Structure 1
Amino acid sequence: MAGNTLLTAVTASLCLFSGVSAWPFNKRQALSIDDIQKQALTNANKVLEGTLADGMTREKCTKDTVSIRKEYGDLSKDERLEYIRAVKCIRSKPSKLPAGKYPGAKTRYDDFVVVHMNMTPSVHSTANFMHWHRYYIWAYETALKTECEYKGAQPYWNWGKYSDLPKSPIFNGDEWSMGGNGDYVKHGGGMMGIPPGEGGGCVTKGPFGNLTVTLGPLMSTMDPALGIKANPQRDGYGNNPRCLRRDVNNHYTVSSLVPTNLASHITSNTAIGKFQDTLQNDTPQMSAIHSSGHFSIWGDPGGDVYVSPGEPVFWLHHGQLDRHWWMWQNYLEADLKSRTSMYEGGTNWFNPNSARGKATDKQWLDVVAPTGQDGIASNQLFSTTAGPFCYIYQ
């Protein structure tokens, strides 16, 4: 595919109840995102208790065994330090990819970046977008547990919680954060009208200060004047050591990521196709929620759709994306069963006429899949408490 065509496709995508219910509000009241979370959690617990059916088969997940994912800022300082330790651990272990095939993959963490690079065309703007990323985040969480003795659950970043993101517990640069903003360097905006923030340079503060990334860039959205080194290979897999850059900004946290917009997105979309399309695609009035999260961090590799998992906060952002879907699936008791199994879309981002996805299609994680858990059918990935999963959101 020609470079301009690819850029166009990437740009387009990045700009990316009914019935009787236990819900105690009437239809005229606008539901807050906190209301939605509360009811989703109530219904998810009913499913685990066996008093509400979601149509999924579960063998091992119960209220006694379910894991609770929490917002990063709600973790205790000790819990944050433990998560940081586990992330640093996975970054210190050697890659399990075939030697020499991906020269930039130096660590076990890099394995996850390579898999995302390989899978990008089939798991963005396709039927696979939501549940493949659910599977992927779970695999990362599992690796932290099995390979680095992490005892907690994968935290998430609640997009609507912090109006001043650089000062949030995630990015304030203290020892309990995920590192600070990038140092300020003069720079312009990026593609799709991303405005420059107060960073743009290397991250030098906090636990992930002075971090080296090696894969990509492949589809950078940063100002070319910053002079970010091009990858020695056109496919982005070459060894390209450089600093982690961020340009953490409030442009999206005060617009597309405000709680009222997040709640409206959940309550106004009744089918999975419309839900995931509106999650990913801009409108003339509003930037897309998914890309707004990525571009609130921006930087390198965080602003590159292919290598964005190289940014340590990617996992918190996509944890929240999964939570957003989980709330949509669970908050309406009357619709929970139908929404849990909804599946719609094509199978290749760059081919609008690609084959339609089937619920029996297998999903792949290659070397980052937990042992014996690669190639799981899509319909086993629809519920966070069925198939290989056993977690809910708090």
Structure 2
Amino acid sequence: MKLTTAICGGITAASAMTLPLNLPHDFPGRIFQAAASAPALPLSAFPKFETVKLQDAKKAAPAYSKVASAGGAEVADAAASTDNTNANANNDNGTVSIQQSKAAKCGTPSPRVEWSAYPASSKRAFVDAIACLQSKPASGNFAPATNRYEDFVRLHQAWTPNIHNNDLFLIWHRYFVWTFEQALRKECGFAVAGLPWWDETRDAGRFAASPVFTAEYFGSLPKANGAAGTCITNGRFAGTTLHIGPGGDHQPHCLSRAVDESGTAQVNKDYENACLSRSTYTDFAQCWEKGPHGIGHNSIGSVMADVLSSPGDPVFWMHHLYVDRVFSSWQDRDASGARKRTVNGCADGAKPCTPLTRQTLVPMAGLLKDVTVGEVLDTVNGATCYVYK
């Protein structure tokens, strides 16, 4: 599937399965000539995430939700076993596909383990598999991606207006991480039982000292170099040149970071618990997206602070595994299991918005088979098969 640049609104399963990837007409998308060497770009080049401070999030509860009346009602469809969307298909670009019954739970869910408990050999295998994707040729379906890893970055860049600042955010990114995992396994031989996730609250206020940011794994987390980020020169991804971003542009630049520990201090248990206390999906999703999710991105800084092209920094996956883990924890807090079957909110920014339902499409543009929201709500009863340990 080639990327296109038309704009659309909410998407349902009734929509064409060949989905255009959309950017507003005035969205930047200039193609730059390759530089002789990849520079660290000014921090101002990276469009930051919208965030809400903890005290403001607490003040806004319980009226935090901005859902329009068209999308405000909680939607509970028939059980997942009656969902007619078929997730069994082969993709035309040679990428992975899934074959899994939605009528029953998956066989043995892969265990996602916190980074500190993940064996050293598994950590090395994980970063090696990511580097493997960076070494493989691009599919050609996500121009101007220059390697297979950048296919994922370009998809996120192009689709950002549709999967940020609305209630599809958590669900789309859950399936995006699952899609990435399948590529690591099929295309780079990653064979560890489950992915690692990083409990960022353990390192609140001291991300730079986290065992994630070491010379053996993801490289260091330096401060800004004046008005620009600092290029990463150690770790498995030292010297990486990125070609997607900043923002909607495509300009060669180094993998850079610029930590703000006053920001990382806000990624803490207090904020996590404030979001976990929300009773509806949309209230939780909006609290979590603009809280520790957005604050964590911005506080790692530079490439990670780029709302469109942040997957260019491989630590993106560790951050979103944490984001998904807390989403899963919120779902598990409901003993009835309803949070794994029901959803509410908006699938777009229209007024009134398109309601988010179990039939809303979760598109991957050929990286993996498109599925519906209903197939992603429960991590062991649908299109995915994993649990958090």
After TM superposition, the score normalised by the length of structure 2 is 0.72
- 2:295 maps to amino acid: S
Task: Give the drift of 1:385.
Answer: 0.3
Task: Give the drift of 1:137.
Answer: 0.4
Report if aligned partners of 1:131, 1:382 keep a CA contact under 8 Å in 2. Answer: yes
Task: Give the drift of 1:59.
Answer: 4.9
Partner of 2:232: 203
Report if aligned partners of 1:182, 1:204 keep a CA contact under 8 Å in 2. Answer: no
Q: Tell me: CA distance 1:294–1:183, structure 2 relative to 1, closer, same or farther (3 Å).
A: closer
Matched residue SS, 1:386: coil
Task: Give the drift of 1:320.
Answer: 0.9
Q: 1:216 aligns with which of 231, 240, 245?
A: 245
Matched residue SS, 2:305: coil
Pairing 1:109–2:152 present: no
Matched residue SS, 1:68: strand
Q: Deviations over 1:296-322 (max 9, x none)?
A: 21112x111110111101111111111
Task: Give the drift of 1:363.
Answer: 1.6
Report if aligned partners of 2:221, 2:257 keep a CA contact under 8 Å in 1. Answer: yes
Partner of 2:269: 259
The size of the alignment, in residue pairs, is 301
Q: Tell me: CA distance 1:321–1:184, structure 2 relative to 1, closer, same or farther (3 Å).
A: closer
- 2:344 maps to amino acid: E
Q: Which structure would you say has the larger RCO, counting Cα contacts within 8 Å and 6 or more residues apart?
A: 2
Q: Tell me: CA distance 1:55–1:358, structure 2 relative to 1, closer, same or farther (3 Å).
A: closer
- 1:392 maps to amino acid: V
Matched residue SS, 2:231: strand
Query: Hey, what's the Cα distance between the residues in 1 that align with 2:224 and 2:157?
Result: 29
Partner of 2:372: 377
Task: Give the drift of 1:357.
Answer: 2.4
- 2:240 maps to amino acid: L
**Structure 1: 5+ residue stretches without partners:** 17-53, 189-199, 219-234, 282-287
Q: Tell me: CA distance 1:254–1:184, structure 2 relative to 1, closer, same or farther (3 Å).
A: closer
Q: Tell me: CA distance 1:305–1:352, structure 2 relative to 1, closer, same or farther (3 Å).
A: farther
Query: Hey, what's the Cα distance between the residues in 2 that align with 1:72 and 1:102?
Result: 33
What is the correspondence of 1:270-289 to structure 2 with a 5 Å cutoff? 270-281=279-290, 288-289=291-292
Pairing 1:14–2:50 present: yes
Task: Give the drift of 1:131.
Answer: 1.0
Task: Give the drift of 1:3.
Answer: 6.9
Query: Hey, what's the Cα distance between the residues in 2 that align with 1:307 and 1:251?
Result: 23
Pairing 1:67–2:67 present: no
Query: Hey, what's the Cα distance between the residues in 1 that align with 2:352 and 2:222?
Result: 41
Matched residue SS, 1:277: helix
- 1:295 maps to amino acid: N
Task: Give the drift of 1:247.
Answer: 1.2
Report if aligned partners of 1:69, 1:155 keep a CA contact under 8 Å in 2. Answer: yes
What is the correspondence of 1:284-303 to structure 2 with a 5 Å cutoff? 288-300=291-303, 302-303=304-305
Q: 1:96 aligns with which of 121, 131, 139?
A: 139
Q: Deviations over 1:197-221 (max 9, x none)?
A: xxx3101111111111111112xxx
Partner of 1:227: none
Query: Hey, what's the Cα distance between the residues in 2 that align with 1:174 and 1:59?
Result: 45
Task: Give the drift of 1:242.
Answer: 1.6
Q: 2:315 aligns with which of 313, 316, 324?
A: 313
Q: Tell me: CA distance 1:183–1:83, structure 2 relative to 1, closer, same or farther (3 Å).
A: same
Query: Hey, what's the Cα distance between the residues in 2 that align with 1:97 and 1:367?
Result: 12
Q: Deviations over 1:222-271 (max 9, x none)?
A: xxxxxxxxxxxxx42x3x2221110133223323x1123212321x2000
Query: Hey, what's the Cα distance between the residues in 2 that align with 1:352 and 1:245?
Result: 38
Partner of 1:242: 253
Query: Hey, what's the Cα distance between the residues in 1 that align with 2:190 and 2:297?
Result: 26
Pairing 1:179–2:249 present: no
Partner of 2:338: 338
Query: Hey, what's the Cα distance between the residues in 2 that align with 1:332 and 1:128?
Result: 20
Matched residue SS, 1:359: coil
Partner of 1:329: 331
Matched residue SS, 2:208: helix
Query: Hey, what's the Cα distance between the residues in 2 that align with 1:60 and 1:67?
Result: 16
Matched residue SS, 2:354: coil
Partner of 2:96: none
- 1:340 maps to amino acid: K
Query: Hey, what's the Cα distance between the residues in 1 that align with 2:268 and 2:223?
Result: 26
CA RMSD for the aligned pairs?
Answer: 2.4
Query: Hey, what's the Cα distance between the residues in 1 that align with 2:301 and 2:223?
Result: 13
- 2:286 maps to amino acid: D
Query: Hey, what's the Cα distance between the residues in 1 that align with 2:196 and 2:301?
Result: 20
Partner of 1:387: 382
Task: Give the drift of 1:352.
Answer: 4.2
Q: Tell me: CA distance 1:184–1:297, structure 2 relative to 1, closer, same or farther (3 Å).
A: closer
- 1:185 maps to amino acid: N
Query: Hey, what's the Cα distance between the residues in 1 that align with 2:238 and 2:221?
Result: 9
Report if aligned partners of 1:131, 1:378 keep a CA contact under 8 Å in 2. Answer: yes
Partner of 1:40: none
Task: Give the drift of 1:2.
Answer: 8.8
Q: How many percent of aligned residue pairs carry the same amino acid?
A: 27
Q: Tell me: CA distance 1:184–1:271, structure 2 relative to 1, closer, same or farther (3 Å).
A: closer
Task: Give the drift of 1:182.
Answer: 3.8
**Structure 2: 5+ residue stretches without partners:** 1-23, 28-43, 53-77, 82-101
Partner of 2:98: none
Query: Hey, what's the Cα distance between the residues in 2 that align with 1:76 and 1:250?
Result: 27
Q: Tell me: CA distance 1:179–1:352, structure 2 relative to 1, closer, same or farther (3 Å).
A: farther
Q: Deviations over 1:23-66 (max 9, x none)?
A: xxxxxxxxxxxxxxxxxxxxxxxxxxxxxxx954455645x611
Task: Give the drift of 1:167.
Answer: 1.2
Report if aligned partners of 2:223, 2:259 keep a CA contact under 8 Å in 1. Answer: no
Partner of 1:77: 120
